[in-house]
Each structure stands twice: as C-alpha cells, then as structure tokens.
Amino acid sequence: MEKYDAQKAARVWQRVQAEQPQMATASQLQEMLEEEWLDATTYLQLARQFQGPIREKLQRMGKDEQTHAACLKGIYTLTTGGHPAQKTKQMPPESPQTILRRCYGREMRCLAAYEALSGDKEYGPVFAQLAAEEREHCKNILHLIGKMDLK
C-alpha cells in the first residue's frame, strides 16, 4: 500500500476545485450591480454634455448598462430569494476623459467577473453575453476618448 502524501492530495484537490465553474455569490452580484448602475448613470449624464454620434453612443451604452443591471438583479432575486440593495452614486465633477477612464476600469472589472462566471451552470450563457457586451463597451470608451476634443 502506498504512503499517503498530504501535500500531493492538497495539490490535487486545489486543481479539482479550480476546475469547477465559479458560481456568483450574493455579494459579488451586489458589487457588479453597483458597478453597472454607476456606469449607466454616468454614461447617461455624460451624454448630456455632447451632441451627435458621441451623445448617441453614450446613450446606447447607458441603456446597455441598465439592461445589464436588470439581468443581474434578476439573477440576484432568483439565487437569493431577495432583492439587492440599490445604492445610487453620482458622477463626480471631473473631465470627460477622467470619467471615461474610471468607466473603463469598471468595465474591465465587470468583464473579468463575467468571464469568470461564464461557466456557471444556470447563468453562464447570460454572463458570457454580458462579458461580450462589456468588451464592446471597452472598445467604445477607447474610441470615444480618441474621438472627443478633450482639451
């Protein structure tokens, strides 16, 4: 009979657990919801400062973020049986470039979280779709920064 190697067994279990799809916790969902609500509010407020294609793109992104928040709220409700706390934050008075830089960071955080959760048995396809849309938002933000006259 082989001798039991506790360290080897621990490494094997770590690999097995790492391969298991990640499931969203209530606190993760709440955090992502807050990010989405803030982005939605920010894009819609920022859109008021511009005209034409820039305004339209920001408005579309704001509506997308509202849809993301609604999906997350639905997942939260189905998984916890409760309703998430809705905390509203306002966009601080900063330059559009600084605001978009902050939005880019939030989009990247949500993208990483959605990609990690795309293996979820029940909601994986929804998280995968949200990740694809966040990827598009990242591209749009970079496009907007490059297109805006931010002097």
What would the pLDDT profile of 29-54 be if each residue is shown by its tens digit?
999 999 999 999 999 999 999 999 99
Q: What is the mean pLDDT of residues 70-83?
A: 93
Average per-residue pLDDT for the chain? 86
Q: Is 76 exposed, middle or buried (0-12, 13-18, 19+ CB in 10 A)?
A: buried
Its pTM stands at 0.80
Residues 6+ positions from 54 with CB-CB distance below 8 Å: 47, 144, 147, 148
Q: What is the mean pLDDT of residues 58-85?
A: 94
pLDDT at 77 over 50: yes
Share of the chain above pLDDT 70, in %: 81
Region at 41 (left for phi over 0; alpha for psi -120 to 50; beta for the rest): alpha
Give the residue from 140, 10, 150 showing the smallest Cα distance to 65: 140
Write down the pLDDT at residue 16. Answer: 47
Share of the chain above pLDDT 90, in %: 68
